Amino acid sequence: MHEVTMASRPRLRSQARLQWDSVRQKRVLLSPEGVLLLNATADAILALCDGQRSVSGIAADLSSRYNHVVDQEVLAFFNRLLQKRLIECDDET
Amino acid sequence: MTMRHNPLGLLAELTYRCPLHCPYCSNPLNLGDHRSELTSEEWFRVLNEAHALGVLQLHLSGGEPLQRRDLLEIVEQARKLGFYTNLITSALSLTPVKAEQLKEAGLDHIQISIQAADSTLSDRIAGTPSYQRKIEAARTVKKLGFPLTLNVVLHRWNIDQVAEIVALAEELAADRLELANTQYYGWAWHNRASLLPTWEQLQRAEVSVRDARARLAEQMQIIYVIPDYYSRYPKPCMGGWGRQQLTVTPNGNVLPCPAAAQITALPIENVRQHSLSWIWYDSPMFNRYRGSDWLPEPCHSCPRQAIDFGGCRCQAFQLTGDAAVTDPVCELSPNHAMITNAVRAVNQLSEPARATAKVTPTFNYRFRTGDRRP
């Protein structure tokens, strides 16, 4: 499988839906037969995942607001989402 | 320790009516109690209560959910509440018009069952001509932009077709393919001797699954549900009893899993008498096997209890008459011989005997004669 790189511009696939869960008081990512309960970090990353920003752009944006944002962790998170077929990327390469 | 979890998924069995007669059907053998189906308003109330409990995934199933005249209203209500709404269907009456209406109503995902990779075998297993219409429906589903899951229940008569089934799923551009080995409850239990695959068949199927996964990683998610009769340890049934999932049957019974009604030792609660919340949190049905305190040996001292929760209660009950014992599938269970004997019997059938049997499988079709059909 292709991997997400720092230059990739990920976006949620049309079958995935991000929404607020009022019972658990957190955002969730729903897909066919799938539920991902998002922690604060995952939530902040996905809020910037729009198909326009690159992974490095998202990581830079987050590090301007939070301490300890590690590029490789953001990248690993997107690769997990890619494996679950929750995101897609148009890579310019 | 018994943790209180919010449920993630609701399996809404809207009706047990179905045009197919599959010999492994998971519907109850006795449908007498299910003639009084919940009304639309009752289902709306169930959906509201499920949403308040924290349910996120809604599986509209049956029987055949398309047989409910109020399916569109139920989907609309579900979508309004924010459920991710899945339709689990035989697709026989999923016309292009109906599919479009479902899209407009907000349905998120459609799962279509097929019984084999070719029409002859698929129709024979379904007990009715159906394959062609299913394939047409699958194309419609994709054309409308729904994510599509193709579901095939595997058993001795179709497990040699895994590669062909994958090719079909590929041609239909399915997003997900579920290859689910038969679980032996209900009608499948009745037909176990005819359905259980052999060891060699499984080995070949698993090679096909591995190849397909490697080749199609980017296009398709392939889910392979192993046949637990051939595994060393039991499956983590429903992700734990009363932990993530609940089922509401056509007449409003609420169960921790669709097969749990057969556990006759537990009183079955109904949404017409109780709130979903009381049933989930407080009923004996949901609390009896929740958590790990109740676990018997060898589970109680076993580190795997956090993985498999002692296996499947319904299977334990089916095989031993006691739902509170270790699932006999586990090689550590004192009842494990019940499994190994069934497996040995299938594998000892001589090759010629299997070949003959293959031409004329002896299925007890679900309500094939018609007069007992609901």
Ranges of H-type helices in B172-309: 186-190, 192-195, 199-216, 276-282, 284-287, 305-308
ipTM > 0.90, yes or no: yes
Cβ-based contacts of B109 with chain A (< 8 Å)? 15, 32-33
Binary contact (B109, A32; C-beta < 8 A): yes
For B30-54, what is the mean pLDDT? 90
Interface probe for B, chosen from A31, A36, A89 (most Cβ of B below 10 Å), is A31
- Considering the entire predicted model, what is its pTM? 0.92
Cβ-based contacts of A2 with chain B (< 8 Å)? 218
What pLDDT, on the 0 to 100 scale, is given for residue B373?
A: 37
Binary contact (B84, A31; C-beta < 8 A): yes
The whole-angstrom separation of Cα B34 and Cα B268 is 13
Joined together, the tokens standing for residue B266 give: 């537990």
Sequence length of chain A is: 93
Å between B301 CA and nearest CA of chain A: 31
**What number of other Cβ atoms are within 10 A of residue B98's Cβ?**
16
User: Residue A68 — very low, low, confident or very high, per pLDDT cuts 50/70/90?
Assistant: confident
Quick one: residue A4, left, alpha or beta (phi over 0 = left, psi -120 to 50 = alpha)?
A: beta
Å between A82 CA and nearest CA of chain B: 9
Is the pLDDT at A59 greater than 80? The verdict is: yes
| CB distance B39 to B132 below 8 Å | no
Is the pLDDT at B44 greater than 60? The verdict is: yes
Considering CB atoms only, which of A2, A23, A33 is closest to B54? A23
Mean pLDDT (chain A, rounded) = 91
Please name the residue that has the structure tokens 């895994």.
B162
Considering CB atoms only, which of B54, B176, B217 is closest to A32? B176
Mean pLDDT (chain B, rounded) = 90
Cβ-based contacts of A87 with chain B (< 8 Å)? none
Name the CA radius of gyration of chain B, rounded: 20
Q: Give the contacts of B367 (CB within 8 A, at least 6 positions apart).
A: B21, B373, B374
Residue by residue, DSSP assigns B64-104 as: -GGG-TTHHHHHHHHHHHT-EEEEEE--TT--HHHHHHHHH
Is the pLDDT at B238 greater than 60? The verdict is: yes
The whole-angstrom separation of Cα B174 and Cα B169 is 5
Chain A: residue nearest B220 by CA?
A: A85
The whole-angstrom separation of Cα B5 and Cα B242 is 8
Which DSSP state fits B277?
H
Interface probe for B, chosen from A1, A15, A22, A90 (most Cβ of B below 10 Å), is A15
Joined together, the tokens standing for residue B264 give: 């006759």
Q: What angle do CA A54, A55, A58 make, to 5 degrees?
A: 90
Q: What angle do CA A68, A74, A80 make, to 5 degrees?
A: 145
Å between A23 CA and nearest CA of chain B: 5
CB burial class (10 A; 0-12, 13-18, 19+) of residue A64?
A: exposed
For B37-53, what is the mean pLDDT? 97
| CB distance B59 to B247 below 8 Å | no
More confident of the two residues B296 and B28 = B296
Cβ-based contacts of B145 with chain A (< 8 Å)? 14
Cβ-based contacts of A27 with chain B (< 8 Å)? none
Considering CB atoms only, which of A1, A23, A32 is closest to B6? A23
More confident of the two residues B51 and B264 = B51
Binary contact (A85, B175; C-beta < 8 A): yes
Binary contact (B57, A33; C-beta < 8 A): yes
